[in-house]
Amino acid sequence: MFDRDRWQEIFEAIGKNKLRTFLSGFTVALGILIFTVLLGLGNGLLNSFLSSFVDDAQNIIFINSGNTSKAYKGFQENRKIQFKNEDFEFIKSNYIGKVEFATPRVYRNGQAKYKRESGSYNIRAVNQDHQYLEKTIMMKGRYINEIDVKERSKNIVIGRLVEKDLFKNESALGKMLDVDGIPYKVVGVFQDSGGDNEERIIYIPFKTVQLLFGNNDHIDQINLSYNMAMSSEQAIAFADQIKDDLKEKFKVAPDDQSAIRVRSFAEDIKETMVILGGIYLIIFVVGIGTLISGVIGIGNIMTFSIKERTKELGIRKALGASPRSIIAMVLQESVLITSVAGYVGLLLGIFVLKLIGNNLEKFFILNPKVDTGVIIVATITLILAGLLAGYIPARRAARIKPIIALRDE
Amino acid sequence: MIEIKDLHKSYQMGSNSLHVLKGIDFSVKEGELVAIMGSSGSGKSTLLNILGMLDEADSGSYFLDNVPIKGLNETKAAQYRNKFLGFVFQSFNLINYKTALENVALPLYYQRKKRKERTDKALSYLGKVGLADWATHLPSELSGGQKQRVAIARALAADPKVLLADEPTGALDSTTSYEVMDIIQNINDEGKTILVVTHEPDIANMCKRIVHLKDGVIVEDKEVEQVRASRYV
């Protein structure tokens, strides 16, 4: 294997038979190129699917209320269902162990003003759990905490772009921000990967909003996350259970679709996983197919090459080449060509994926690339493929009878 | 050097069996220059192939330098060929992508000699056949006579006990043939044992002994007065 002379002999043979080498190398390089690009695009698709979930926790459930669409138990239809604090407490205390985080939400719009700058922003009145549900990342300061909620404090958390809009280059931390005429203290600034709109939001403790805007205990929406230990089937069942319990509590017809709405990603995730599984299967099948056809290609070209070299190998045997040395020569040549060409194909593939980059985002392909583990596996596969593809022709080469090879045509 | 007793060989041609060698008894002493003659189909090439360990006899015994040649596996046969025999073929059989020097050095590569030694030896043998200046040329850049001389240099490079030449002048015109025979005679003068298969009487007469084969048996085996090829060159 590490016989320098044999390598020299092989390099000589390769160097002086460039077309043959190029042809066999080309097949392999093309196969690996296609495989790499395919795999990268598949990963891009996966990235794109996953990124649609990263904005929020994947195990989140949204609960909304609306108007009834059916008369039931003596109630008229079109009755407005309004969640209150007790409903939130009901959910928190009723499903212990199943609920991980839970927050009420109250939506408002507010005119925020600092010195001369002002703007209209979405206000979300929430509790301390909201940070985990929304995956909010604090840039500075802190999030709303339990004490803020309990004491109805006028502490608020603003988005990065709110700070940028209103405070310009100043830090908003500790400053007073005027929202609809009421001054609040900024205790934190956050960022969010969900896009610009998600960073133009102001968070206020929900009890503060309930006190200051209308003095009631109304809630617009309840968000909660379920225990990740649940399977997606269990999560779907859990969401249905919440829906049924709330319908009973509010005396809503069981088949009323509009009064209580419970939405979770569990179903989406399940569907997505099925689709992704399908995509991966296709990539796997096509990829393996490409690799196999590449290997068969090398095998063919090596067989052809052996045929073409029959005379040469016959001469070598007449001059004293042992069958082993012939096998080793053919195999080493095959492995060398496969590895080098495969590596070139791999590099080209990675280069193509780099070129594609995020240009195909509108086709749901985000940041396509292959990881190191796959590259290592691919390299080992290549060497094995080279061995496999070279072995049968090599055996045949070793069996060449010099007397037949040297017969004059 | 070569001892052959009652050698038989037949080939299967479909359902028919073709008996090519029908009991050959034949021996060659060291330093001899023997011509094997016969028309096509007489079995002379088969005999040479068996002598060259490229083919195996069905029965009979074959000793080469007192070593029994029988039931060799491929690896062993390759080793013996490399150690004992040098081949010269009618169609030269040079490797076309290797230079003259590399071709001559090839048997030494299979003897696991060091690169430096291979090059030095190959160059000296090329000098011996008068082609030192052509060392870096490819076979396609050489004339037929030059190719055959490279092939002879290659056959000699491994310093074999016996040189086997199968119609070495078959593809050459008569002037070039005599040049090649001149070289073969010179090598024989230095003590090398050489067997030449030929069907040309003038070539055979340049050897020291002529063996006639006909229908698989030796019909004539005689010593001859050697005609020196140098007279015609």
The predicted-structure confidence for B10-53, as pLDDT tens digits, reads as follows 988 888 888 889 999 999 999 999 999 988 888 888 898 899 88
The whole-number pLDDT of residue A53 equals: 61
The whole-number pLDDT of residue A328 equals: 86
- Scanning chain B, the segments in alpha helix (DSSP H) are 44-51, 74-84, 100-109, 115-128, 144-157, 174-189, 201-204
Q: Measuring CA to CA, how many Å separate A380 from each of A86, A343, A386?
A: 62, 11, 10
Q: Do A322 and B93 touch (CB under 8 A)?
A: no
Cβ partners under 8 Å of residue A349, min gap 6: A32, A33, A34, A35, A36, A37, A40, A370
CA B112, CA B158: separation in Å to the nearest integer?
Answer: 11
Give pLDDT tens digits for A342-396.
888 888 988 888 888 777 777 777 777 777 787 778 778 777 877 887 888 888 8
- When CB atoms are compared, the residue of A13, A320, A398 closest to B82 is A320
pLDDT band, residue B218 (cuts 50/70/90): very high
> Which residues in chain B have Cβ-Cβ distances shorter than 8 Å to A319?
81-82, 87, 106-107, 110, 154, 158
The whole-number pLDDT of residue A55 equals: 56
Task: Suggest the residue from A319, A327, A396, A400 to mutate for an interface test with chain B (most B CBs closer than 10 A).
Answer: A319
The whole-number pLDDT of residue A274 equals: 83
Q: Do A311 and B93 touch (CB under 8 A)?
A: yes
Please state the length of chain A. Answer: 409
Average of per-residue pLDDT across B105-126: 91
Chain A residues whose C-beta sits inside 8 Å of any chain B C-beta: 5, 8-9, 12-13, 16-17, 311-312, 314-325, 398, 401-403, 406, 408
Q: Measuring CA to CA, how many Å separate A400 from each of A321, A326, A375, B141?
A: 12, 10, 37, 28
For residue A398, what is the nearest residue in chain B, using CA coordinates? B74
The whole-number pLDDT of residue A111 equals: 92
Q: Do B89 and A322 touch (CB under 8 A)?
A: no
CA B105, CA A313: separation in Å to the nearest integer?
Answer: 16
Least confident of A267-276, B129-138, B168-177, B180-189: A267-276
- Compute the nearest-CA separation of A16 from chain B (Å): 6
The whole-number pLDDT of residue A7 equals: 80
CA A208, CA A401: separation in Å to the nearest integer?
Answer: 96
Q: Do A315 and B107 touch (CB under 8 A)?
A: no
Q: Do A401 and B97 touch (CB under 8 A)?
A: no
Q: What is the DSSP annotation of B89-104?
A: -TT----TTS-HHHHH
Kindly provide the residue ranges of all beta strands, DSSP E only, lying in A18-172, ordered along the sequence. Answer: 60-65, 83-84, 99-114, 117-126, 137-141, 155-159
Partner A contacted by B97 (CB < 8 A): yes
Return averaged pLDDT per consecutive 10 residues of chain A, 409 residues in all: 70 77 80 83 78 68 90 88 92 88 92 91 93 88 92 93 90 91 93 81 93 87 88 86 91 89 81 80 80 77 80 87 87 83 87 81 73 76 79 84 70
Partner A contacted by B82 (CB < 8 A): yes
Q: Do B111 and A320 touch (CB under 8 A)?
A: yes
> Which residues in chain A have Cβ-Cβ distances shorter than 8 Å to B107?
319-320
- Compute the nearest-CA separation of A317 from chain B (Å): 6
CA A201, CA B54: separation in Å to the nearest integer?
Answer: 90
CA A286, CA A299: separation in Å to the nearest integer?
Answer: 20
Partner A contacted by B208 (CB < 8 A): no
The whole-number pLDDT of residue A3 equals: 67
- Compute the nearest-CA separation of A319 from chain B (Å): 5
Partner A contacted by B205 (CB < 8 A): no
- When CB atoms are compared, the residue of B78, B83, B93 closest to A322 is B78
